[in-house]
A = this chain, B = another copy of it.
């Protein structure tokens, strides 16, 4: 049995605590069954203030009382020494150095930042998909200089990637490799953080471009859906879906939605004939994440909720289902160009960000990776 099941609480820290993702971490962690917020980190400008003075709180729930008066520290490992887990909502400009320093200080970091996603020793884990990639952690520790006993970094994926890899993983599990996939996203403004998108750019408008986003989807999907192989030198390595070539093409758009990314997906299976829409629907609905099976408390009961109504999922109506921890799929039907097409919607600030980090941490606790 892992620690938490014995009723012991684990102290956790939050880096970038005043930012958009950091606020979401705090809102979620304040109600967590065994993680307890112990330390908050932000920029030098915020350091020394009580949290309620340092933050411009933009969540719909008030600031949790437990953190209102908690002091904000600079993001230095010494202030987080007693934290079993550190969640990072840092901006990419500073996340690289800070997260490195925390790992070097034997801290465990679950990061939303993109800096380490392409690191060959850092798992990029969508907790409803590829928790098997935790198997790289021992190697990450041993290759570190000096080798680490406890510290490691795990990243989670970009929010738009997260939405789509969940159904893709379910379908590969059921029907074998996918050969190609076209994704067109309609992404919420909260994906850009705060202040993020100027209102003049998006009210009564669509912006058919998000810098770097298409590349992230195309690359991250391969790392997440790929396996772990062994190199000639005896090292573990992410195979980037090398067992079967997988072509992905993404087109990313920003729309006037506060929360919830909607994505139109078409795909072609390697297997001929391909599964029918009904078989696809069933495979999606039956897919269960290992995280849920293992009892991670933040993992959703329905990894993928499959809508039957012709006009769902919709971000405003479906983004809060299961606290946004799962993904919703609808309109599963045949595609005249590839095989199957459908719509997927996921809450970009829940499963697309903070919730993913937290489930990853719960999984790591469960597997004994955190002590």
User: Does A45 have its Cβ within 8 Å of any Cβ on chain B?
Assistant: no
Q: How far is the CA of A186 from the CA of B264 in the complex (A)?
A: 11
User: Does A92 have its Cβ within 8 Å of any Cβ on chain B?
Assistant: no
Q: How far is the CA of A186 from the CA of B255 in the complex (A)?
A: 9
Closest B residue to A211 by beta carbon equals: B310
Q: Which of B203, B317, B318, B335 contacts A189 (CB 8 A)?
A: B203
Contact size range, A: 35 or more
Expressed in whole angstroms, the minimum distance between the Cβ of A61 and any Cβ of chain B is 7
Residues in B neighbouring A336, C-beta threshold 8 A: 180, 218, 247-249
Please state if A203 and B207 are interface contacts (CB–CB under 8 Å): no
User: Does A330 have its Cβ within 8 Å of any Cβ on chain B?
Assistant: yes
Q: Which of A52-85 contact B (CB under 8 A)?
A: 58-62
Closest B residue to A320 by beta carbon equals: B60
Residues in B neighbouring A338, C-beta threshold 8 A: 182, 249, 337
Residues in B neighbouring A330, C-beta threshold 8 A: 208
Residues in B neighbouring A318, C-beta threshold 8 A: 60
Expressed in whole angstroms, the minimum distance between the Cβ of A226 and any Cβ of chain B is 16
Q: How far is the CA of A312 from the CA of B62 in the complex (A)?
A: 13
User: Does A251 have its Cβ within 8 Å of any Cβ on chain B?
Assistant: yes
Give A contacts to B, CB under 8 Å: 58-62, 180-182, 184, 186, 189-190, 194-209, 211, 218, 247-249, 251, 253, 255-258, 262, 264, 266, 310-321, 330-331, 335-338, 341, 343, 345
Which 3 residue pairs of A and B lie closest in terms of their CB atoms, listed nearest first? A195-B198, A184-B184, A209-B311
